[in-house]
């Protein structure tokens, strides 16, 4: 079951990673070390200063690399104007020649990304905005004429050429709320993000069974720490997670880890199953 699993790095662009030049260097090193992807958190208010803009950094990474997949993991459409998000994602997809994955979620106000700016922050409001925003984003990518009059957004656009590269959308999932599961089932992948530890394999298998379609490819990304390069390596059963449906392992580089330690994890390469 190991041959279908890809390996990515998952990190916040703040604290030790708040310098965009560091992020570009990390991505170049990740590609050389055999990682399959580099994915950035997308926040406005950092848990630790300084902070880099995820989209600007992703554009720079797209130009500096040629193989790794990349994207925000995750961006909240509820905090961005959907037409701006559609253009940002399409631009990075073109720069990277089709290597962008758009990780999405309703967003969290844990650091004040919404409330500090007077934006609504209730989960119900954010969920409603997310669904409506993704409808607009997908229509724009497809080049459709958009005549949208919704609860949150109004859009009037003529038809245009569709985007030249596929733009897969993954859905972050911290709960099994019916609306979240429906959004995940309509996406190209799911990113269960329950906390610092990955879901147990049996729980992951149950979640995958609820959302994965039977007629098209579907990614299941799981985050945690499994690299033997950490000072205290964690015991994670990657083989069992792969058996449960995992298609991506996301090695988490948390902002309070020293930069040199995180870079040693990058340089060590992915913790492959069976190695």
State how far the Cα of 77 lies from the Cα of 79, in Å rounded to an integer.
5
**Does residue 1 surpass a pLDDT of 60?**
no
- Asked if residue 244 is part of any domain, the answer here is yes
- Express each pLDDT in 214-247 by its tens digit: 889 999 999 999 999 998 888 899 999 999 999 9
Cβ(122)–Cβ(89) below 8 Å:
no
- Asked if residue 273 is part of any domain, the answer here is no
- Asked if residue 89 is part of any domain, the answer here is yes
- Asked if residue 213 is part of any domain, the answer here is yes
Cβ(76)–Cβ(105) below 8 Å:
yes
- Of 38-42, 51-55, 213-217, 223-227, the poorest mean pLDDT is in 213-217
- Asked if residue 269 is part of any domain, the answer here is no
pLDDT band of 29, cuts 50, 70, 90: very high
- The pLDDT score that the predictor gives to residue 275 is 60
- Express each pLDDT in 71-95 by its tens digit: 999 999 999 999 999 999 999 999 9
**Does residue 2 surpass a pLDDT of 70?**
no
Q: Quick one: which of 125, 114, 216, 137 has its CA closest to 179?
A: 125
Task: Provide the CATH number for the domain around residue 128.
Answer: 3.20.20.30
- Express each pLDDT in 99-114 by its tens digit: 999 999 999 899 999 9
Q: What is the mean pLDDT of the segment spanning 51-63? A: 97
Structural domain range at position 112: 2-262
- Express each pLDDT in 193-207 by its tens digit: 877 789 999 999 999
- Express each pLDDT in 140-184 by its tens digit: 999 999 999 999 999 999 999 999 999 999 999 877 788 999 999
Cβ(1)–Cβ(18) below 8 Å:
no
């Amino acid at each position: 079951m190991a041959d279908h699993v890809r390996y990515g790095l998952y990190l916040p662009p703040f604290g030790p990673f708040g310098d965009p030049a560091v992020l570009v260097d990390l991505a170049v090193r990740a590609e050389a070390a055999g990682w399959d992807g580099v994915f950035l958190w997308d926040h406005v208010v950092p848990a630790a200063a300084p902070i880099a803009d995820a989209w600007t950094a992703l554009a720079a990474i797209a130009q500096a690399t040629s193989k790794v997949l990349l994207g925000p993991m995750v961006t909240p459409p509820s905090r961005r104007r959907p037409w701006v998000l559609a253009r940002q994602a399409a631009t990075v997809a073109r720069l990277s020649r089709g290597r962008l994955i758009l990780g999405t979620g309703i967003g969290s106000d844990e650091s004040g990304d919404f409330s500090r700016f007077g934006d609504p922050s209730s989960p119900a409001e954010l969920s409603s905005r997310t669904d409506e925003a993704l409808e607009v984003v997908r229509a724009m990518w497809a080049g459709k004429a958009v005549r949208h009059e919704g609860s949150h957004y109004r859009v009037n656009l003529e038809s245009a050429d569709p985007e030249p590269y596929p733009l897969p959308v993954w859905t972050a999932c911290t709960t099994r709320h019916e609306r979240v599961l429906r959004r995940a089932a309509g996406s190209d992948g799911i990113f269960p993000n329950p906390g610092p530890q990955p879901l147990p394999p049996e729980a992951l298998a149950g979640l995958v069974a609820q959302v994965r379609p039977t007629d098209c490819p579907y990614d299941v990304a799981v985050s945690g720490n499994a690299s033997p390069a950490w000072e205290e390596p964690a015991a994670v059963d990657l083989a069992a997670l792969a058996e449960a449906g995992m298609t991506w392992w996301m090695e988490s580089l948390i902002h309070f880890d020293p930069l040199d330690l995180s870079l040693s994890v990058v340089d060590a390469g992915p913790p492959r199953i069976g190695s």
